[in-house]
Amino acid sequence: MINVTIDGVRVEVPKGATILEAAQEAGIRIPTLCYLKKLSPIGSCRMCVVEVEGCTKPVTACDTPAGDGMVVTTDSEELREMRRDVLRLLLVRHPLDCPVCDKGGECDLQDLVYEFGVTAESYRTEPFERDVPRYVSPFIRQWPDRCVLCGRCVRACKEVKGVGCIQIVDNGFYSYIGPVPGVECISCGECLSVCPVGALTDSVHPTKARIWQAERVPTTCGYCGVGCQLELNVLNGEVIRVTTTDFDRAPNFGSLCVKGRFGWEFVNHPDRLEKPLVRKDGELKEATWDEALGLVARKLQEIKDEHGADAVGGLSSARCTNEENYLFQKFMRAVIGTNNVDHCARL
Amino acid sequence: MADRIFSSWGGQVLDSRQGTAKGADDVPIPRSLPSGTPLLGLMGWDGLAVWDGRANPIDMARAYAEGLVRYSCGQCVPCRVGSKVIFDALSRVCEGRGEPGDVATVERLAERLRNQAMCDLGRSCGKAFSDLVTHFRAELDEAIGKKAKVPRGEYRLKVTAPCKSACPAHLDIPTYVELIKKGRFEDSLEVIRQDNCLPGTVGRVCVRPCEFNCRRQNVDGPVQIKYLKRFVADYELDRNRPPRLPKPTPDKEKVAIVGAGPAGLSCAYYLAQLGYDVTVFEALPEPGGMAAVGIPDYRLPRWILRREADLIADLGVTVRYNTEVGRDVTWDDLVKGGFKAVFLAVGARLGTGLRAPGEEDAKEGFMRGADFLRDVALGKPVFVGKRLVVVGGGNVAIDCVRTGLRVGYEKVTLVYRRTEAEMPADKVEIADAKAEGIEFLFLHNPTRLVLDESGKVKGVELIKMELGEPDESGRRRPVPIEGSEFVLETDAVIPAIGQAIDLGFLPEDAPVKADRRNQIQVEGLNKLAAVVDGVGVFSAGDCVTGPLTLIAGLAGGKEAAFQIDRFLREERTEPLEEWVMNEYVAQLKPYDPAEDVGVPATTEPAHIHHVPVEERIQDFREAEIGFTHEEAIADASRCLRCYRLLLVAPEPEGRGLETGN
Amino acid sequence: MTNSIACVDKAQAFLVIGSNTTENHPIIGDRVKRAVTQRGAGLVVIDPRRIELAEYANVFLQVKPGHNIPVILGMMHVILKEGLHAPDYIAERCEGFEEFAASLEAHSPEKVQQITGVDADLIRKAARVYAGAKPASILYAMGVTQHTQGTDAVKCLANLAMLTGNVGVEGGGVNPLRGQNNVQGACDMGGLPNVVTGYQKVGDDEAMAKFDEAWGRKVPREPGLTVTEMGHAALEGKIRALYVMGENPMITDPDLHHIEKALETLNFLVVQDIFLTETAAKADVVLPACSFAEKDGTFTNTERKVQRVRAALAPRGECKPDWQIVQELSTKMGYPMSYAHPREIFEEIASLTPSYAGIDYDRIEREGIPWPCPDRDHPGTPVLHVERFARGKGLFQVVEYKGPAEEADDEYPLILTTGREHPHYHSGSMTRRCGRINDCFPEGFLEMHPADAERLGLHTGDGVRVASRRGEITTKVKVVDRPAPGTVFLSFHYSESPVNVLTNPATCPVAKIPEYKVTAVRVEKA
């Protein structure tokens, strides 16, 4: 363990901890933009600059390991001005289109600009045109001008998903997030989930909703057996997108695959059954619940009476909940009286 | 501004307008290109200089900013956006559209670059802009006030870094190290392979001039560049990844290469990629030259070298092993056999003697270092006794003692005439040898071999030495202490004090010239030794320079390849412009060992692991174990990315230099 | 899984066999890739196809479908011969080792190479990578189990893990990856013919007495029929009525023509689903159910973690959650049920199931708990068999290789193996109805090696007829070197080319799992 003093607060942190982690331990917030806990820190946005006693230049807190006896200052007028300049420079390119941006209200840049009281007029460049190719995933829309090049998406794609299909393309001011030739995107949307601004937006559902209008219901994904935790975003009784905002939640820590993140449309699909159907004259016709359930009860009872309980079989479901599976086998065993119950565990 | 001289380079400001300079400054590069075109000024990491009134510092800064925009990696905000804001402001000024706030913007953002940019590209470029505003504020204000256009010059730009500049092959080290940090190991290896065809080999045995020029050592130890290179090379092998190399078609002229050592292989590698039909003649049964038979397997497993040579062969190169030029193939076969160019890369394969009485008469127990290592490497029998004395202080001497231990000598002593501090061998190698139980006898020198009547070595007479005045190499000259001679008993003595060049394959009338040390004479950077009936004979590597390093051999081979290409395409030779810029960079010394880098010393270089001594001295298994992924990524993260940008301003009508890396 | 998903981060080496992890369990696949590429963990991949993980493997053993067992036997032979096993662990925690060790004698890598064609040196290297790092994790899926010798293959993997001391160890284990969201839970809940909840056997009188009392009816003590057996029984007239809740056997079962006949023979078929699936279309009554977005409850994931599902939407139209439908039907049949909320059902489950006893909705509000969790203070069990095996000592079981039920011959010269593609799920009833996904991935392809394609004169995109002894389908071919020559692959997501028309209903005698992975087929240009 090493001792670090942050703004006069002494904390003990493990060797190898960064200055930012030490500050968090001390309960001191250092503004960040490119930093995300689950990704390796790169110190590229330069928002987290701090002063370290004995160092002639400011250092970035997120990717500099703390040293024993280090004395750190996280806030001064000079540091605030450096941070303001970072934001001013970002606003050279980033349009102030917050009113029409999907991320308005949930945007790290918006929050920081607000916090530091910065306007867009300080620095400017000559007008220029940029040609950015289509984004790697058809499920995601890219807004290159909104991009702050924090590289979170690039790191998430590489470090979390092990894919590495995006990178910073071109140099300097003309950089943008573009494809890595020869590496296929799997449309998992990891990049989308870590973007701090509205540079990547979900393009599946046409309905837009301000962050605070949609309700986010945490639940478990209904596809494979991993059991990813996700949030269904609901507006006016319809799912409009899936998000993951809690990166500390096992087992997926905010990651999903293409099915989990973009495969929710079937819930709203017009093919969904809405009424019970009963076969009449060889065709399935709509019926009331009473009619349908009455028929099922009668027929099952008849067959049970005539051929014995074991003439009835039941398939429960690897798709349904535990409670439903429990009730189904209870029904088969206690009500019908047979152990003929199975499901597709083997498929 | 006709004959103004200004310089802020080298820590002091010389300004003829202030009367503080009259002609001379501290910028240590020539004032003209090799072609004779005068240089009018320069801008770089340490400031700017103007030697001629025709160079306009405002326009130079504009071009310098344009370069920064081009080379900025796009990651950090101050450099990515700041460079463009600076460039646009300076462009406006130069075009007569300057605005009153532009100077303040440049000044402020230059400061941000210097203090807040992520890597040293932005940081080092900031000074030039700051110096411009500080020393040419009146000129800037005047240009803005009068809305006057500033004449546009032609400039040459070079991106470099201290490590890159120090490397003979100029590998793009910061880029490949950063790719390792990002976990992009194969991309990293692809970058390495642009300048180095033997990454796994060099990653094991390079003498790493890069690390001795790494700015991180001013903080807390250099980035472990050599081992990082080894790591990515090993990654490709461990994970069975297909090497990313082109599949060229050899549809151009035939070129012959003599020697499949580092220089020969490197030359073949580039020529094949350029489409030439390359045949390599190699006397040994396997590739690598001295790297194969001079470096023992415990440092460089032969299969690594063979695999890397195989990859070069896969480019379409024909390698004829066991083919000695002068014996199996004649000189005429080369120069009259349909080859349009011949590249001589025969190295320095001969061991040198002790230059002490007795060696001529020794029948058993006396071996020259290079011969001893070669015989062991080729599996030939060598004399093995109980005690061995090796004379020398370089890496070959260390290789001989450690090899001696492995072939069965029980007690091995290294005798060196100076102290450990002066030993040219790699410190790591010395430490490894000590760990293996080698005895070191410093400040001793052999005076004669002691033989028995049958000519067997019985011992070696040594004289004690002391250090006197420094010699031309800067090291203190060892001086014998009269009368201090004594005999050290031993069964074998191996001198490892140098290697010599074997030019026996050249017929007497060959137009290739060599000096008294048999070093082939070539035209400077051009590598051209002779033209025989239109066939260009080029040479590089140890046979030109004397015994140097593996990486220098690779660099020589590469440079020769580009000269051969130019010779065959344009029927002329001329150094590539980027080499000239490389020379300037080297002269400007991008690494300052005294610099305070300003970064807290809170990291440590990753340490390589070793196979335990008792296991490794049993045989020739590799002694070092490469980095783990986590070690490699952690060490790569220590890189400060010390890119630097250099701009020179040649006289406008002169032939320009190409830009390049 | 014996271990948790988080354990992947601790493994120093992996053996991935019969699992295309990155496509079928992407989140686990990501972690493996991360461990391998960022952390340098060792990786051995055994699969008939050059799957994505093979690209990162130290050793990739491309086996023919049905050849898992000999290759694992060969690896164990090497481990024993080279002393890479864990003698202390074996002595302390296992039994049956001597007989098992003797049985390995015959399986030298050279011998295995003769049987399988897999290079003996690669088998050696694979053994060294897996056994040379601790802890090492085995990840497997249906590529191991969907064989007539599936159970034997699993035993082999258990032997391998015990041999190297990797069971009951964090970061190790033998880890089956479950393919469906709640296949673990459906099994845990007794959706099986021989056990009720928590794998309490229907023949176990003591355990059943508890259910008899709680349910107020006597539970039959004889095991019932499995899905496949129900099909046969229907054709024989022994099963007259079938009640299907959320399953689509008309796409997912082997030998679909046979299933279709069985369903048509039934007197009465009830299907409860969210869509009019291929199976529902054959029903006498179809009951509209709620999707996962419209109901509360719990799923148990592949690492045995019980996690909450929450209703985000009101039921669509007149749909009802499945539990409510079952409850109403039960009531109508004279067995009243009146649960107000799934929470109450879960409380009943916990009261009857020792491994779920300590779990309740409040405890899993934020994060799930892996069973066994015997009481309210128990934190759950991320790693099984830590101190001791569930049965006391780990038992080495001798396994002999028999070979798959069907081999290629002149008439059916290629071996077809089946599986999934990452954008789609199972029978496709959900993902094929996700507009954007289906637009991007609208059709399946038969993957075929260029050598086979050249011989058959086929090019990517050509329509082909694929026939087996049981039927034929049409699809398009994709020429790619993922499968080895002689092997072709097709996913089962697409009802346009229902691959299970072709597959072999021969099952593993123990687990009753059909041999989906090995079907002899003939491919012709359509």
Q: Given this model, what pLDDT does residue C309 score?
A: 96
Q: State chain C's mean pLDDT as an integer.
A: 93
Pick the residue with more confidence: B36 or C160?
A: C160
Q: Given this model, what pLDDT does residue C509 score?
A: 85
Pairs across A and C, CB distance < 8 A = 467
With respect to residue C347, please indicate whether it lies within any of the assigned structural domains.
yes
Name every chain C residue with its beta carbon within 8 A of the beta carbon of A139.
436, 440
With respect to residue C514, please indicate whether it lies within any of the assigned structural domains.
yes
With respect to residue A39, please indicate whether it lies within any of the assigned structural domains.
yes
C190, two tokens: 């007794």
Total residue count of chain C as it appears in this document? 526
With respect to residue C398, please indicate whether it lies within any of the assigned structural domains.
no
A40, two tokens: 């390796």
Name every chain A residue with its beta carbon within 8 A of the beta carbon of B182.
155, 158
With respect to residue A86, please indicate whether it lies within any of the assigned structural domains.
no
Q: Do A172 and B80 touch (CB under 8 A)?
A: yes
Specify whether the CB–CB gap between A323 and C342 falls below 8 A. Answer: yes
Give the pLDDT mean for B356-363: 86
With respect to residue C51, please indicate whether it lies within any of the assigned structural domains.
yes
Q: Are residues C198 and C272 in the same domain?
A: yes
> What CATH number does the domain containing C469 carry?
2.40.40.20
For the cut 70, the answer to whether the pLDDT of residue A347 exceeds it is no
| Contact residues for B40 (Cβ-Cβ < 8 A; gap 6+) | B50, B51, B52, B54, B55, B153, B649, B650, B651
Intra-chain end-to-end CA distance of chain A, in Å: 52
Cβ–Cβ contact A343 with C under 8 A: yes
Which residue among A253, A272, A291 closes a domain? Answer: A272
* Type and span of the H or E element at B488: strand B486-489
Domain count, chain A: 3
Cβ–Cβ contact A183 with B under 8 A: no
Cβ–Cβ contact A137 with C under 8 A: no
Token look-up 């590698």 returns: B269
Q: Given this model, what pLDDT does residue B20 score?
A: 65
Q: How many CB atoms within 10 Å of residue B656?
A: 16
Q: How far does the CA of residue B124 sit from the closest CA of chain A (Å)?
A: 13
The reply to whether omega before C109 is within 30° of 0 (cis) is: no
**Each residue of C8-40: b (16+ CB within 10 Å) or e?**
bebbbbbbbbbbbbbbbbbbbbbbbbbbbbbeb
Cβ–Cβ contact A168 with B under 8 A: yes
With respect to residue C393, please indicate whether it lies within any of the assigned structural domains.
no
Residue type, C319: C
What is the tens place of the pLDDT at every residue in C313-350?
Answer: 999 999 999 999 999 999 999 999 999 999 999 999 99
Q: Write out the residue range of the structural domain in which residue C187 sits.
A: 183-370
Q: Do B240 and C39 touch (CB under 8 A)?
A: no
Which residue among A232, A253, A272 closes a domain? Answer: A272
Q: How far does the CA of residue B604 sit from the closest CA of chain C (Å)?
A: 19
Cβ–Cβ contact A43 with B under 8 A: yes
Which residue among C149, C177, C205 closes a domain? Answer: C177
What is the crossing angle of helices B427-435 and B395-407, to 10°?
20
For the cut 90, the answer to whether the pLDDT of residue B537 exceeds it is yes
Specify whether the CB–CB gap between C496 and C424 falls below 8 A. Answer: no
With respect to residue A149, please indicate whether it lies within any of the assigned structural domains.
no
With respect to residue A293, please indicate whether it lies within any of the assigned structural domains.
yes
Q: Are residues C366 and C310 in the same domain?
A: yes
Q: Given this model, what pLDDT does residue B63 score?
A: 96
With respect to residue C96, please indicate whether it lies within any of the assigned structural domains.
yes
Radius of gyration of chain C (CA): 24
pLDDT band at B25 (very low <50, low <70, confident <90, very high): low
CA distance C254 to C228: 9
What is the tens place of the pLDDT at every residue in C105-147?
Answer: 999 999 999 999 999 999 999 999 999 999 999 999 999 999 8
Q: Do A333 and C219 touch (CB under 8 A)?
A: yes
Q: Do C345 and A225 touch (CB under 8 A)?
A: no
> What CATH number does the domain containing A253 carry?
2.20.25.90
Which residue among A272, A295, A323 closes a domain? Answer: A272
3-state secondary structure B29-64: CCCECCCCCEEEEEEECCEEEECCCCCCHHHHHHHH
Name every chain B residue with its beta carbon within 8 A of the beta carbon of A54.
600
With respect to residue A143, please indicate whether it lies within any of the assigned structural domains.
no
For the cut 60, the answer to whether the pLDDT of residue B355 exceeds it is yes
Considering the entire predicted model, what is its pTM? 0.91
Cβ–Cβ contact B630 with C under 8 A: yes
C contact test, residue of B187, B228, B232, B240 with most C CBs within 10 A = B240
For the cut 70, the answer to whether the pLDDT of residue C424 exceeds it is yes
Phi, psi (degrees; rounded to nearest 5) at A132: -110, 130
Give the pLDDT mean for C161-169: 94
Q: Are residues C327 and C441 in the same domain?
A: no
Q: Are residues C229 and C161 in the same domain?
A: no
Q: Given this model, what pLDDT does residue B653 score?
A: 66
C contact test, residue of B629, B633, B635, B637 with most C CBs within 10 A = B629
pLDDT band at C429 (very low <50, low <70, confident <90, very high): confident
A contact test, residue of C19, C148, C247 with most A CBs within 10 A = C247
Q: Do B239 and C38 touch (CB under 8 A)?
A: no
Q: Are residues C234 and C310 in the same domain?
A: yes
Q: Are residues A267 and A236 in the same domain?
A: yes
Q: Do A219 and C145 touch (CB under 8 A)?
A: no
For the cut 90, the answer to whether the pLDDT of residue B158 exceeds it is yes
C82, two tokens: 């080279």
Q: Are residues C171 and C188 in the same domain?
A: no
Name every chain A residue with its beta carbon within 8 A of the beta carbon of C193.
339-342
Name every chain A residue with its beta carbon within 8 A of the beta carbon of C434.
262-266, 269
Give the pLDDT mean for A182-202: 95
* Type and span of the H or E element at A261: helix A258-262
Give burial (CB, 10 Å; 0-12/13-18/19+) of C194: middle
Give the pLDDT mean for A34-59: 94
Cβ–Cβ contact A177 with B under 8 A: no
3-state secondary structure B51-112: CCCCCCHHHHHHHHHHHHHHHCCCCCHHHHHHHHHHHHHHHHHHCCCCCCCHHHHHHHHHHH
Q: Write out the residue range of the structural domain in which residue A258 sits.
A: 209-272
Q: Are residues C479 and C452 in the same domain?
A: yes
Specify whether the CB–CB gap between B74 and A113 falls below 8 A. Answer: no
Q: Are residues A258 and A286 in the same domain?
A: no
Q: State chain B's mean pLDDT as an integer.
A: 91
Pairs across B and C, CB distance < 8 A = 22
For the cut 80, the answer to whether the pLDDT of residue C443 exceeds it is yes
Q: Given this model, what pLDDT does residue B655 score?
A: 41
Q: Are residues A265 and A289 in the same domain?
A: no
Q: How far does the CA of residue C75 sit from the closest CA of chain B (Å)?
A: 19
Q: Given this model, what pLDDT does residue C24 score?
A: 92
What is the tens place of the pLDDT at every residue in C175-201?
Answer: 999 888 999 999 999 999 999 999 999
Number of H helices, E strands in chain C: 18, 21
Total residue count of chain A as it appears in this document? 347
Give the pLDDT mean for C383-387: 88
Q: Do A341 and C190 touch (CB under 8 A)?
A: yes
Q: Which residue of B has its CA nearest to C36?
A: B629
Name every chain A residue with its beta carbon within 8 A of the beta carbon of C425.
223-224, 259, 263
Q: Are residues C252 and C312 in the same domain?
A: yes
Give burial (CB, 10 Å; 0-12/13-18/19+) of C363: middle
Domain count, chain C: 3
Q: Do B633 and C37 touch (CB under 8 A)?
A: no
What is the tens place of the pLDDT at every residue in C199-214?
Answer: 999 999 999 999 999 9
CA distance B101 to B103: 6
> What CATH number does the domain containing C40 carry?
3.40.228.10
Phi, psi (degrees; rounded to nearest 5) at B13: -95, 125
Name every chain B residue with its beta carbon within 8 A of the beta carbon of C57.
239-240
Q: Are residues C99 and C192 in the same domain?
A: no
For the cut 80, the answer to whether the pLDDT of residue B2 exceeds it is no
With respect to residue C386, please indicate whether it lies within any of the assigned structural domains.
no
Q: Are residues C27 and C172 in the same domain?
A: yes
pLDDT band at C9 (very low <50, low <70, confident <90, very high): very high
Specify whether the CB–CB gap between A243 and A193 falls below 8 A. Answer: yes
Give the pLDDT mean for A4-15: 96
What is the tens place of the pLDDT at every residue in B195-240?
Answer: 999 999 999 999 999 999 999 999 999 999 999 999 999 999 998 8
Q: How far does the CA of residue A340 sit from the closest CA of chain C (Å)?
A: 4
| Neighboring chains of C (3 or more beta-carbon pairs < 8 A) | A, B
What is the crossing angle of helices B395-407 and B369-377, to 10°?
50
With respect to residue A142, please indicate whether it lies within any of the assigned structural domains.
no
A contact test, residue of B602, B630, B643 with most A CBs within 10 A = B602
> What CATH number does the domain containing C197 carry?
3.40.50.740
Q: Are residues A50 and A6 in the same domain?
A: yes
Chain B, 439 to 468: residues with Cβ < 8 Å from chain C are none
CA distance B652 to B60: 13
For the cut 50, the answer to whether the pLDDT of residue B661 exceeds it is no
For the cut 70, the answer to whether the pLDDT of residue B656 exceeds it is no
Residue of A43, A45, A126 with shortest CB distance to B88 = A126
For the cut 50, the answer to whether the pLDDT of residue B658 exceeds it is no
For the cut 60, the answer to whether the pLDDT of residue B22 exceeds it is no
Chain A, 123 to 152: residues with Cβ < 8 Å from chain B are 123-126, 148-149, 151
CA distance A218 to A237: 16
Token look-up 């002595």 returns: C91
With respect to residue A119, please indicate whether it lies within any of the assigned structural domains.
no
Chain C, 26 to 65: residues with Cβ < 8 Å from chain B are 37-40, 55-58, 60
Which residue among C147, C177, C207 closes a domain? Answer: C177
CA distance C359 to C364: 7
Q: Are residues C162 and C207 in the same domain?
A: no
Sheet holding A229-235, edge to edge: A215-220, A229-235, A238-243
Q: Do C38 and B633 touch (CB under 8 A)?
A: yes
Q: Given this model, what pLDDT does residue B21 score?
A: 59
Specify whether the CB–CB gap between B418 and B394 falls below 8 A. Answer: no
With respect to residue A307, please indicate whether it lies within any of the assigned structural domains.
yes
With respect to residue C216, please indicate whether it lies within any of the assigned structural domains.
yes
Q: Do C40 and B629 touch (CB under 8 A)?
A: yes
For the cut 80, the answer to whether the pLDDT of residue B1 exceeds it is no
Which residue among C152, C177, C202 closes a domain? Answer: C177
Specify whether the CB–CB gap between B471 and B482 falls below 8 A. Answer: no
What is the tens place of the pLDDT at every residue in C26-43?
Answer: 999 999 999 998 889 999
Q: Are residues C85 and C199 in the same domain?
A: no
Give the pLDDT mean for C502-520: 87
Q: Are residues A214 and A244 in the same domain?
A: yes
Specify whether the CB–CB gap between B414 and B445 falls below 8 A. Answer: no
Q: Given this model, what pLDDT does residue B76 score?
A: 94
Chain A, 11 to 40: residues with Cβ < 8 Å from chain C are none
Q: Do C33 and A161 touch (CB under 8 A)?
A: yes
CA distance B90 to B57: 11
Name every chain B residue with its beta carbon within 8 A of the beta carbon of C39.
628-630
